[in-house]
Structure 1
């Protein structure tokens, strides 16, 4: 190809004409221009997350002293300062930057406190800069903290008249929490905001494990979190962005349906997607209605105000399907919007696409550099101050000589030289009583020029005895500071711990809950994600029917009340076991024949409070002649450290006790495993999980209980028989329960209940510690009125007691309402029983406020639960009528 040369210019003999290739010249100029835009205008720095204009605005406000605890100042003053000193561009771009940093609908965490009209989420422009006022927000101050301690590099400004920082020493991972967007030359960036708490947790997780994977980090940083809330619809694009730096996030507005007094429904939009104008969305919906794209809508209006978003869509007919219209709004309007994620930022001066781990690692690396530089600065300043104090102390130890030398000198310079020479001749040192030699600070012989100058500038009042004590105290304090800073510089692990501590403080100061809800698509969900994590009551009937019910369905009642129907069962059946667990836990089922089976809580069928449930044999492979006796809740069987440090303690009706490591039960099998070998005529009664340091109590039907240390029972394998726990010599007597107690926990008491509805609480100290295998001591006074002992629990006052009768009646009452009494008493009435009815099972549950409401849906009134509307309670309880 022919070279396209510039035509030679007509010049004099003294001038020179340089001919260049115009193609190369344009290419070079355009590359220079594009790099200037990329580095100096459009892309953020990965370290502090700012473009130069944002950084300059915040730095200028900091230099002007516009801090969060000072009065607001005119925005025009900030803009003028930035233009004159750091950013010689148009005032509009600078003011727009200042305004956006103060808009809570644009920034997830605002950096500027605003006063005046800063615009609105509907797209209204802000007032002119001469009318509005601004100052730094506390979040921005955390980004500027320590900037005076040589933590970052500075560069000359546009006219070389002053210096400006190349980056801010932020303690906050700003790029992740607030995101960024910009269009450069040949590239662009669009980074989403995230939740501060999640990002900080992710940074700490990365510091703890540098080999952490993206999936593991996403357990902390789940998804973007927009300042306007909304619903993130689907996670596939988010996962792509987290893993590769490029992806797509779909955001929906939040809406619900309300019914008006005339019976017609209206759709209320309370949150709109990020960067969507509420007015524009209202106009768009109105246009869709006019164009007949959406039918059944009579009116659309924007009722939003300073309190929040409210867009009302009124439906025409009473039979209009609101959900169908909502789906049409998602399809045709900006109520559903997608954002392309493109994580491009400057790393070491070069643009780079970054995934989640890259962004976190770059920030942590930057914080390590800031902390190191800050520590060096503080150490230098501490050494300089200690050096001056060292000179003071030497002078005070030779005060008369110093005064004489100064008086004999004609000029300050002569006095300074005299002090230096005399102190070195006589080898002045600080006395050993003040300074002990260390490996991090060594005092010099005599005085240096700096010390001599400081002594000459010393005020006379510092020569008093009290002032000398202050100098000694300050010097010794500086020695501790210097040692700490030296250790910090010599240990990378200490610096990482300091970074984690500072991040934790940031989370405590500025962390908050998520605003954007995450909604998974059907093909993205794990079964655990589909199930809401909540506490449920698991019930198992005498004939083996199981179900789970929300704990809130069991309302709290005063003790002595009538109770309510808890489960519809056949006449010969009754609820025998109640257990409270989270839906994400693993349940271990132990049967009376000594077998162990496993099931996740969410796999247990859900049923109403009055429903019968499903036969347990249809869920786990239990033989027809066996039945579940006890269940244990385990959070995570994959946690090796946990399973290796915990045990399963089992007891039988004949008083046998056995302990086995939880690790032996950590590999679930569909057919179950043998937990204990049961001898003929005996059966498993109860099992509990312990940490190996508890005390075991066993109670028998006749009213006796024994207490002995857990270490009296050595751990054995799953197939072992066990050893004697309590003596059961009466053929009609048997063990009714076992509890594992913590001897140091004074907040808990022992609760015993008899089958005629009597019960009490007793302090654990009333039961003396004995060897296992003995008869024990009396725990309740058993009479014909009280009936036999039916159960024993280890409870605290913040819990509730759930009592289940053989007739299906249940009652929930606060533990705090059951009074404490001695071992040998018979207790107070807990529940009034119908003739022939008995208590079948007792269980404890953590007290929940929502359970303290009145009637529950589906609950039968008291007249259906028994013949009496009200019953008179004996002892110290009051008369109760069921609602």
Structure 2
């Protein structure tokens, strides 16, 4: 007994299994565009006489024939395939005419097969035409008891017409549906111009044509798919804006992308509205019926429809990608094929089918002509034929006598003996001669097809034209030249001033700056963010909607989003959690935030850590940022990133510590480093001290250091009072820290014309002019900026640039859970 290793046996068995799945189940044949299960369904219906012009039959009967005779798999798999072939939203041109519940675009399952009925569609008859004329090879079924066709002699380029999708072992296919009329035009052009380029074919075949319509953005991705077999396109649903008599607007979705579950789309929109990612929606309802899709989104008064439309495209599958992968079985092996190869394979199949059909018809006509020739001889000599027959003792003797007398074949002699007496009439004689003449013409025509390639092409061309005339329908999908990525939501959002707030627990929001009113120094402030116990605002930025919001985490990572992508909320609302926007790690918090429009090579970031480390890196290194963030600076385990500032090569920086020490140095002292470097020492800290701020000097209009303490005290100091030192030193006193002032909260550079917004842990907000704060010496404690309740302390402040007095008022809003 021979022995083999288990490795070899497993390899051999798995390869055989893979081939079975690829060829026998998942990948369609390029010639008829059908997988075995679909081919067997159509053939079983053909054998049952279940054609389009006959009565429907129970789906269970069709499924039973398929699994009992040809497809040794589960009945549910076969029924699911039959159901899909009958769904108008799944097939561009359905191959099965279903009666009953065959599912819906909402994802509803079809009724059980015992309830539904089916028959072939009229188009399906073209798949099986001439099957009985030996046009294709037949093979044994799974138990060798019956024969089934290995491919159907289809007249329709079905692989591209209805498309397909399937996952095999190690490969997959995903082909979109196309328009039949365009496919026929492209195929006919290839027939007449076999050396044409793929670009010539795309003049006829513009792009996919989905049964659900929608908009198709092909562009380079579609060209790559047609040229290489792989590519990607974008599909967008179709919608429009309706306005009611009261002036309220509604967005109405009438077409959705291919293979999208409509019910899931509606649920997703409702979810996004509930989460606040899509704002300005007052009502959402599905008004779809048998006439078509109609999803209505009612807008609130003042909502901008274009912004909501772009949000729908961005956050839902109303815009989706379709990855084209034109994998098909050709020559009994899977191949990635381009557009020309697919159409060429179909044309070659049609050539073979027509040749085999012609040979079958020619053979049949020649046999009939042979018989008619004998009958003509008999009629011309009818008296002698009758005499021979009457004189013969038996039929065999008569046949032999006729063969010898008139040099007939056995078949001709037998046909004379089988001829009825009524054929002896003059009328029947004339009919026989006419039939004979007609048969001779057919024989001549069939011979010309087999002998002349141009005649064969003419037959193919005529049949294609007939298919187009009888079955083509107008295009449903609109092809767009413009790339959807070219449509920027920023074009629809005004670049207005905004305030970004971030709480200690990570709640972020965007609020128009006009919601905050200007007050005099020492005021009580207005109601700010409603936070939960133990939470308070720690970051407060003034910016504009079109800028980038750069978020640097305590672990040294950087995230980049647009300001307008931050959910907008009222002044007293808590906002959305930062985890909804950024993929933060456990125990990772946002350390600092800044805004920027462009990332230029000659500009630099200055990173400052709690332990006094600094790093200067080119901003251009941070231009490309993944959605998952990038490493901005290497951090030691016991250190944290506290701030990032933009600097020039000749800028000067000031580091301020919580104990009131500061150091001023030139950024030249920190050489430019790579993106993931850890940096150099900026200040030598005393025990227990840490850096709380890093500011940049150099603005000729802002030459004063504005320092704020946690106790609500602040002061202005001329920057010249902080002498220039070498980085790494211990620094000098910047603010006198007492129990009344509390530790230093931070510092910024200001001018007398600037305004500052200050926030407290009690969620009070005060906006004041810088000139209202006294200009004092470096070692002083400053003046009171805001009166705070017991236990409250200052938690954040920021500069308001070029802001006038809006004279605002209390702004009411709901807390966002």
Q: Above 0.5 in TM-score? A: yes
Judged with a 3 Å threshold, the aligned counterparts in structure 2 of structure 1 residues 523 and 212 are, in CA distance, closer, same or farther, namely farther
- Which of the pair has more CA radius of gyration? 2
Q: What secondary structure, in the 3-state scheme, does the structure 2 residue paired with 1:456 have?
A: helix
Judged with a 3 Å threshold, the aligned counterparts in structure 2 of structure 1 residues 255 and 524 are, in CA distance, closer, same or farther, namely closer
Partner residue, 1:218: 202
Alpha-carbon contact 1:234-1:524 (below 8 Å) kept: no
Alpha-carbon contact 2:226-2:338 (below 8 Å) kept: yes
Partner residue, 2:450: 489
Partner residue, 2:226: 242
Partner residue, 2:418: 457
Question: C-alpha distance in 2, partners of 1:415/1:190?
Answer: 67
Equivalences for residues 174-193 of structure 1 within 5 A: 174-193=158-177
Q: Which of 363, 384, 394 matches 1:380?
A: 363
Partner residue, 1:341: 324
Judged with a 3 Å threshold, the aligned counterparts in structure 2 of structure 1 residues 278 and 322 are, in CA distance, closer, same or farther, namely same
Q: Which of 374, 394, 401 matches 2:384?
A: 401
Alpha-carbon contact 1:200-1:507 (below 8 Å) kept: yes
Partner residue, 1:799: none
Question: C-alpha distance in 1, partners of 2:203/2:5?
Answer: 56
Equivalences for residues 696-715 of structure 1 within 5 A: none
Measured after TM superposition, the shift of residue 157 of structure 1 is 1.2
Question: C-alpha distance in 2, partners of 1:328/1:231?
Answer: 17
Q: What secondary structure, in the 3-state scheme, does the structure 1 residue paired with 2:454 have?
A: helix
1:294-334: CA deviation from partner (whole Å, max 9, x where unpaired): 111111111111110000111112x2100100000000001
Q: Which of 133, 139, 143 matches 1:159?
A: 143
Partner residue, 1:276: 260
Question: C-alpha distance in 2, partners of 1:489/1:70?
Answer: 35
Alpha-carbon contact 1:236-1:524 (below 8 Å) kept: no
Alpha-carbon contact 1:107-1:227 (below 8 Å) kept: yes
Question: C-alpha distance in 2, partners of 1:524/1:242?
Answer: 21
Partner residue, 2:409: 448
Partner residue, 2:725: none
Question: C-alpha distance in 2, partners of 1:379/1:522?
Answer: 55
Measured after TM superposition, the shift of residue 411 of structure 1 is 2.6
Equivalences for residues 97-246 of structure 1 within 5 A: 97-246=81-230
1:230-271: CA deviation from partner (whole Å, max 9, x where unpaired): 001242211110110000111000000011122111100000
Measured after TM superposition, the shift of residue 44 of structure 1 is 0.4
Partner residue, 2:296: 312
Alpha-carbon contact 2:217-2:484 (below 8 Å) kept: no
Q: What secondary structure, in the 3-state scheme, does the structure 2 residue paired with 1:138 have?
A: coil
Alpha-carbon contact 1:195-1:224 (below 8 Å) kept: yes
Q: Which of 414, 429, 433 matches 1:468?
A: 429
Alpha-carbon contact 2:234-2:321 (below 8 Å) kept: yes
Alpha-carbon contact 2:218-2:234 (below 8 Å) kept: yes
1:415 has 2:398 as partner: yes
1:412-463: CA deviation from partner (whole Å, max 9, x where unpaired): 222222211222xxxxxxxxxxxxxxxxxxxxxx210111111111112112
Question: C-alpha distance in 1, partners of 2:24/2:352?
Answer: 23
1:500-556: CA deviation from partner (whole Å, max 9, x where unpaired): 11111111111122111111126999xxxxxxxxxxxxxxxxxxxxxxxxxxxxxxx
Partner residue, 2:339: 356
Q: Which of 59, 80, 89 matches 1:75?
A: 59
Measured after TM superposition, the shift of residue 278 of structure 1 is 0.9
Judged with a 3 Å threshold, the aligned counterparts in structure 2 of structure 1 residues 524 and 119 are, in CA distance, closer, same or farther, namely closer
Question: C-alpha distance in 2, partners of 1:524/1:492?
Answer: 48
Judged with a 3 Å threshold, the aligned counterparts in structure 2 of structure 1 residues 522 and 80 are, in CA distance, closer, same or farther, namely closer
Partner residue, 2:274: 290
Question: C-alpha distance in 2, partners of 1:138/1:326?
Answer: 40
Measured after TM superposition, the shift of residue 207 of structure 1 is 1.1
Question: C-alpha distance in 1, partners of 2:371/2:327?
Answer: 49
1:325 has 2:308 as partner: yes
Judged with a 3 Å threshold, the aligned counterparts in structure 2 of structure 1 residues 51 and 414 are, in CA distance, closer, same or farther, namely same
Q: Where in structure 2 are there 5+ consecutive unaligned residues?
A: 487-817
Judged with a 3 Å threshold, the aligned counterparts in structure 2 of structure 1 residues 256 and 464 are, in CA distance, closer, same or farther, namely same
Q: Which of 482, 485, 502 matches 1:521?
A: 482
Partner residue, 1:761: none
Q: Which of 440, 450, 454 matches 1:479?
A: 440
Judged with a 3 Å threshold, the aligned counterparts in structure 2 of structure 1 residues 117 and 238 are, in CA distance, closer, same or farther, namely same
Alpha-carbon contact 2:207-2:218 (below 8 Å) kept: no
Measured after TM superposition, the shift of residue 108 of structure 1 is 0.2
Q: Which of 16, 23, 26 matches 2:7?
A: 23
1:95 has 2:56 as partner: no
Measured after TM superposition, the shift of residue 135 of structure 1 is 0.8
| TM norm structure 1 | 0.54
Judged with a 3 Å threshold, the aligned counterparts in structure 2 of structure 1 residues 524 and 402 are, in CA distance, closer, same or farther, namely farther
Q: Where in structure 1 are there 5+ consecutive unaligned residues?
A: 1-16, 424-445, 526-883
Question: C-alpha distance in 1, partners of 2:417/2:48?
Answer: 35
Partner residue, 2:39: 55
Partner residue, 1:509: 470
Question: C-alpha distance in 2, partners of 1:517/1:511?
Answer: 17
Alpha-carbon contact 1:268-1:311 (below 8 Å) kept: yes
1:342-363: CA deviation from partner (whole Å, max 9, x where unpaired): 0000001010000000111111
Measured after TM superposition, the shift of residue 151 of structure 1 is 0.9
Alpha-carbon contact 2:253-2:296 (below 8 Å) kept: yes
1:640-661: CA deviation from partner (whole Å, max 9, x where unpaired): xxxxxxxxxxxxxxxxxxxxxx
1:144-203: CA deviation from partner (whole Å, max 9, x where unpaired): 111111111111111222211111111110001111111111111011100111111100
Alpha-carbon contact 1:235-1:524 (below 8 Å) kept: no
Partner residue, 2:19: 35
Question: C-alpha distance in 1, partners of 2:49/2:430?
Answer: 36
Measured after TM superposition, the shift of residue 339 of structure 1 is 1.1
Alpha-carbon contact 2:219-2:483 (below 8 Å) kept: no
Alpha-carbon contact 2:217-2:483 (below 8 Å) kept: no
Which range moved further: 392-401 or 301-310?
392-401
Q: What secondary structure, in the 3-state scheme, does the structure 2 residue paired with 1:139 have?
A: coil
Alpha-carbon contact 1:177-1:194 (below 8 Å) kept: yes
1:815-864: CA deviation from partner (whole Å, max 9, x where unpaired): xxxxxxxxxxxxxxxxxxxxxxxxxxxxxxxxxxxxxxxxxxxxxxxxxx
Judged with a 3 Å threshold, the aligned counterparts in structure 2 of structure 1 residues 228 and 522 are, in CA distance, closer, same or farther, namely closer
Question: C-alpha distance in 1, partners of 2:158/2:63?
Answer: 22
Question: C-alpha distance in 1, partners of 2:298/2:429?
Answer: 81
Alpha-carbon contact 1:72-1:134 (below 8 Å) kept: yes
For the aligned residue pairs, the C-alpha RMSD in angstroms reads: 1.4
Question: C-alpha distance in 2, partners of 1:403/1:94?
Answer: 61
1:58-98: CA deviation from partner (whole Å, max 9, x where unpaired): 01111111111111111111111112211121111111111
Q: What secondary structure, in the 3-state scheme, does the structure 2 residue paired with 1:101 have?
A: helix
| TM norm structure 2 | 0.59
Measured after TM superposition, the shift of residue 381 of structure 1 is 0.7
Question: C-alpha distance in 2, partners of 1:174/1:524?
Answer: 32
Partner residue, 2:780: none
